[in-house]
Structure 1
């Protein structure tokens, strides 16, 4: 195994028979191969500038140098066979070339990679493979240690912890990137274990960033594995101030490197999507405004990933969470996004409407916002979807009527929803022609045209209307119809003149006893109310007075004042409403009695009342007859002018 000597920085060959840790430059003393997770250094970090997104350290340095340098590889030295006997094999120190001596620090990692001798690297790797055959983990550790020693350059991305003595860790980074680019599922096989490790070091941000950086390398070769890492490792720590910038920057870089999002469909579900929605749009959360704005810019692509390849069969699973968040008090930008997403669910996935009907009674305030949004954007909804939504809105309207009958506590929301449903149904049925207004307008136009025609031609026969009716044959037919109508009217009048008095007398004979009894009961009722109404109202007022006196001691002043008003209310109602109405009724009855007394010459009998009623009916009939005759005469005179 290759190990670095402590004194002169040389590499020595350790044979198989040598005990581990022996010698001055053994592995136990230097600690150069300490595991990545055992680093204890805590240092300040800054996420800028990040590594270029076009390549990894492994791609930029290791593979490019191997392609550029086409040197002949030196075969590994042969191991001398053991001689028989019990003598110890003397140690042989392989003196490395001058470039293997202690390295100075380069100004950049690119400069260090250009100076790396791939032939020497291959030689050391072959030596480790020959000494520790069948143990790839040691080969990898030797390779990483050699690269750490050779690539003495400042970190361009401070996401890995340093050893306490300041050893460079570029070798570890290159090896991690090389492995996870080829086998990305190594990082996602035990995400739960890595999350526990991350939470156990939550108070040490540098170590947490090391874990997040190392696992995140799996995503640059595979979008699916990268989303698994982000959802399983970085989303749970998104609210932590020291880790949130790296998590969002990694997500931005991941989506930038994989513009084809179809490979990530099915990775984000409602359980992961809605926390991201809250982080992006909910104010005063644990993210800074700049990070929240950056997450808002990534939200549309996350939404595409969440809805997946078949949104017409998955959006109904997102509808309940969208609806529950669309409250009247939510922020404007979030409300706009929620209403837009709810509309998309209703227009794309038919099952969203049935989910809405089930949630509607318990989400009236949210549904009122959605209904008003649909009302304002109804024209943008496809016609096919409008027909399906019409059935849903009709069902919601029936639910509103049922809730109004029951008198639920949130009547205002029900009324708002009901008004929005009516407006939507009117728009769904399409614009109707105002037939009443059109007919009225047509009638006014016809009357105006007829008056102008008669006035301009001074007679009906010379008018355009008369000539048109005469040439069309309508005028003779109308004259004949008017003559028949006049004849029938005269016959009807004669029949009424003969039969009305007979039937009137018969009717009066039949209903006279009932009318007399009703008159007697009416007089008795009026007399009873006039005698007892005032006394009962006075008793009610006295009762209220006594009750108020009993409760005056036990009730506060405000209630005493209320009782005083209640006590005065019946008296005011009696004095200002009932009593004036009663006086008016008595005056009307007195005037009617006086008129009957004068008409009957001092004695009001039923025969006299019958005579008065007959005269009133006869007078009314004469007035109607005069009006009818005058109208017929005018019509005949107008027709005869032809």
Structure 2
């Protein structure tokens, strides 16, 4: 113990015994050094390290203690779950139709009158089972349109289709909405959604109209998640599956859901590609029914972006959009342009600003000319809009004056009405002439109107002379035939009497006899010599033909024998290959399928690239070449008339030939 004012320090090995008293509570240098060395230390990790005792207090470690293993920290247990497939193809191939049928039977037995619950449980099962390690592209770009439904086995696909067919449209629409919502929510959380996409594609293929029953909801959802690119692309792909085989549905989905995103960098390529797919698949079949979907506002949205804002797109997407635009225009104008173009004319005229780019000006002028030539009502609409859009009208008048010689032939309105409209424009220009400095476009419009009126004076209508000559020829031939048939012979007819009075009968008889003799001589030569030449040719060529047939038969026999022997060795060869190189057949089949899919994608790409040019060529030939006398209807009439004429001519020639060949025999009999 330490007394008052003193500390007692116990130091081992000290000569003073167990303890030593430190005077005034102070330690000398050696004692401080020993105290610091033997004091507990705080480690870097926050623990306390006790200094080991001196040599005199160290005890030798026992063998047991030396050999005892150190305690290990308990390791975390790895929760090894079921095997997760690496690719989507592998995940789909692992689906079991038996498990799906058992699940469906249990759910149906519990909720007999709730088909929506059946479908939800089946979709959840698919989404859990089809969950590959490597998530595929959200829109499956680079794959055919039938992917991934094409990976499903026939039994699994049949089970899904039969389950969907037993539900009403309202139930299917609610289920479609549930799958879209769940897919978006889970993909935002980073979970797999391939199962939902698979089920949605099967639903869209068999019930396309269901995909647009909730389209306003999908548009609102798109607006909310367009910053989440993968989830938004998945939704666009899933809803767009309904329109791949139905043009009207696909056009509605494209215009209302996808086109608002066409200016965004992350979506423009997919939106343009989907539009090309829709118009490439069935744009010609449903174009007449798309007026409610593709109206004036929707069409000019595409036109403005194509010609004004498409420079922000990558070059391939920009080219694809320009190739898509003519199809959109054809569908918008529909099959009755004579009553629909009047709705488009004001918007075309308003955009024809003198300062627009050359390419856009050419397109607007082409469309305006089409409106004026095919829809007569556009002229009266132009009269109402003339002063309001005077600079634009000046550009259009200048173009009409430059191309009037060609355009005047295709007008569906009388030239008198067109002339009255242009004269009305000239009067309006005179009234506005004193305001030329204040009103833009008056001077240009005045000059263009004068040029157009001069062109209309110089360009006359199509000459009727060819038609008159054709009509006169038909009348003349008809009169001659009627005259000869009425008189009973050529010499008794008025034409024959006229020819006889003119002294032309001997020349006609000489020419007719010479022609008849030449024809008879040629016919007799053919009857006598052609069979001889045919027999001689058969004699010369028959040995070679027989030898060729023998060689061909030998080759066929050799090939059949080789195939028969191959059929015997192929199973053995298959077994040897499978034994020596396991999995080779499966790998070859897999890569063969991939090669076929790649070829299919390439073929579709080539087809999509060539389709616009073929459509333009078809449009050019149908509107510029095969019109008027070369129209298909006229060509058909010409062919039918030519066939009838040739058949009648051959019958007359045959009868004349028979009578000519019989005349010598009759003469000989009479002489004898």
Shorter-chain TM-score tier = 0.3 to 0.5
Work out which structure has the larger RCO, using CA pairs closer than 8 Å and 6 or more positions apart in sequence. Answer: 1
TM-score by length of 2: 0.46
